[in-house]
Chain A
Amino acid sequence: ETGVTQTPRHLVMGMTNKKSLKCEQHLGHNAMYWYKQSAKKPLELMFVYNFKEQTENNSVPSRFSPECPNSSHLFLHLHTLQPEDSALYLCASSQVGTEYGYTFGSGTRLTVV
Chain B
Amino acid sequence: AQKITQTQPGMFVQEKEAVTLDCTYDTSDQSYGLFWYKQPSSGEMIFLIYQGSYDEQNATEGRYSLNFQKARKSANLVISASQLGDSAMYFCAMRERGGSNYKLTFGKGTLLTVNP
Contact = CB atoms under 8 A, between A and B. Distances in A.
A81 B93 CA distance: 29
Contacts of B50: 99-101
A42 B109 contact: yes
B101 A96 contact: yes
Interface of A: 31, 33, 40-43, 45, 48, 50, 55-56, 88, 90, 92, 94, 96-97, 99-107, 109
Interface of B: 4, 33, 35, 37, 42-47, 50, 52, 91, 93, 95, 98-109
B104 A102 contact: yes
Secondary structure of the B contact surface, majority rule: strand
Contact of A43 (B46, B47, B101, B106): B106
Contacts of A107: 43-44
A41 B100 CA distance: 26
Contact of B91 (A43, A45, A56, A92): A43
B101 A48 contact: yes
B108 A42 contact: yes
Contacts of B33: 99, 101
A100 B37 CA distance: 13
A50 B103 CA distance: 12
Contacts of B47: 101-103
Given A88-B43, A90-B43, 12 more contacts: A42-B106, A42-B107, A45-B105, A50-B101, A90-B45, A96-B102, A101-B35, A101-B47, A101-B93, A102-B104, A106-B43, A107-B44
B55 to A, nearest CB: 10
A43 to B, nearest CB: 4
A106 B42 contact: yes
Contacts of A102: 45, 47, 104
Given A43-B91, A101-B95, A107-B43, A56 B101 contact: yes
Contacts of A101: 33, 35, 37, 47, 50, 93, 95, 104
